[in-house]
Structure 1
């Protein structure tokens, strides 16, 4: 039986790249900097779904916190949570997010990737990590939109992840929202004033790249992201940037735009939408 809150006809969803914050930052008193450090990003995540063309039938999320030898998709019908952060208040390990999974969507993902030459593994046990459940507690707080998580592929090749995204693009026309969850800046050794200038320099480059006149130009720049100004300072390791490649690849020829770009503490962080 169809849910009455979903559109009668499939709609085309955009793709997103969102910053998911620092651990459970939105659900605790932040003591590692000013108390309001994450407030603007929280407010953005709380309202972002209002810009969608319709309520999605499901969300496919690629998080910077899951890497596997082969792309792997979570097939659980009721995925648990995976608390993969450390040293935070005890209550943050009791957070809940009982969103259903979607074995049907997981099977579609595996089929599309296989047809594109990316053999896909499945995992019915791993929980949603904090790159998923923390931002989505704000985006869809009622936990009533099915969520499927997909891994990055070890090696973190940007061209490969653009191609993975391209293989998944047909899902958008079936009312599936594809989301890359990472951070536009992720240097944990310079996660404060030491990263102020570099985060702005690299963020400026990212914004120009996402908004490039054509998808071909955008993707060419993303493939060579490591040569960008301050790139390796902003991302000593690129696992938090690669979800952007999946979102951009799934965008096809759709233009990209910046949805959010502000100082979060000392750091410039951004979110992007395609389509």
Structure 2
């Protein structure tokens, strides 16, 4: 991983309980902020900030003090009590609006929206002091993988200005299977999960952008691991932001609850 400038990252954020429960993925993220060059700001593209559920309007957070959003239910009170009081960066939000407009991508600055758990849970581990400005940009789950890759390409100049671009989703995400199985956190990975993640790793190493963009259709058990596209779309944004040709490094690989693969990739 180059220290001359920041990579773009894809993080599998898993369950919100990663903020509280020990796991290999939690341990990895807790070390990651020490290894990375310190950014001046962070842009998170989260699976839980989806333009398809906002009347089709893509938004970027522009609050100077974004609130912590607890966008989940059925978890311990300790999790709901957590806050990630990082400052926002309205000027960066406006720059993102401009960069995307140059590519014909329309996004609106939202002065009110805060940080969902796809942002604050991993950031609370990577940068626990919450002292780096954070903005969030929406995905659009009704748009194509290519649209998200182009979105990432439009954001690439931010990396050389000290902005860490993070796509936060999950390399596997079948909640129906997860809730049905109810496996312990340290259960071994299911073969249909590792079949998919190993295929992704192979295609990443080969620089096969088109294969990765269409992994849900082409990879073994693609649709089983992603019955909806929302959690893999941030991967495509991070890939696009990493520049061309595709240079991917698999920084971490583990599984929680046997079904949620927690892969982390860097693109540079």
Taking structure 1 as the reference length, what is the TM-score of the superposition? Answer: 0.87
Alignment partner for residue 122 of structure 2, among 135, 145, 150?
Answer: 135
- For 1:264 and 1:93, the matched residues in 2 are separated by 21
| RMSD, aligned α-carbons | 1.8
- For 1:240 and 1:204, the matched residues in 2 are separated by 17
- For 1:11 and 1:172, the matched residues in 2 are separated by 10
1:6 is matched with none
Alignment partner for residue 60 of structure 1, among 34, 37, 43?
Answer: 43
- For 1:136 and 1:94, the matched residues in 2 are separated by 16
Query: Does 1:196 pair with 2:190?
Result: yes
Q: How much has 1:221 moved relative to structure 2? A: 1.2
Alignment partner for residue 72 of structure 1, among 52, 56, 59?
Answer: 59
1:241 is matched with 232
Q: How much has 1:263 moved relative to structure 2? A: 2.9
Taking structure 2 as the reference length, what is the TM-score of the superposition? Answer: 0.89
- For 1:48 and 1:134, the matched residues in 2 are separated by 14
What aligned pairs does 1:99-138 form with structure 2 within 5 A after superposition? 99-138=86-125
Contact map agreement 1:62 1:179 (CA 8 A) in 2: yes
SS at match of 1:16: strand
Give the total of aligned pairs: 252
Q: Deviations over 1:208-250 (max 9, x none)?
A: 12222x4xx3x21123222211100001001011000000000
1:50 is matched with 34
2:222 is matched with 231
1:31 is matched with none
Q: Structure 1 runs of 4+ off > 3 angstroms?
A: 192-195
Query: Does 1:96 pair with 2:83?
Result: yes
Query: Does 1:205 pair with 2:202?
Result: no
Contact map agreement 1:75 1:122 (CA 8 A) in 2: yes
1:86 is matched with 73
2:266 is matched with 273
Q: How much has 1:11 moved relative to structure 2? A: 5.3
- For 2:125 and 2:63, the matched residues in 1 are separated by 22
- For 1:163 and 1:22, the matched residues in 2 are separated by 28
- For 1:133 and 1:157, the matched residues in 2 are separated by 26
Instruction: Specify every segment of 5 or more residues in structure 1 that has no aligned partner in the other structure, as ranges.
Output: 1-9, 29-37
2:256 is matched with 264
Instruction: Specify every segment of 5 or more residues in structure 2 that has no aligned partner in the other structure, as ranges.
Output: none
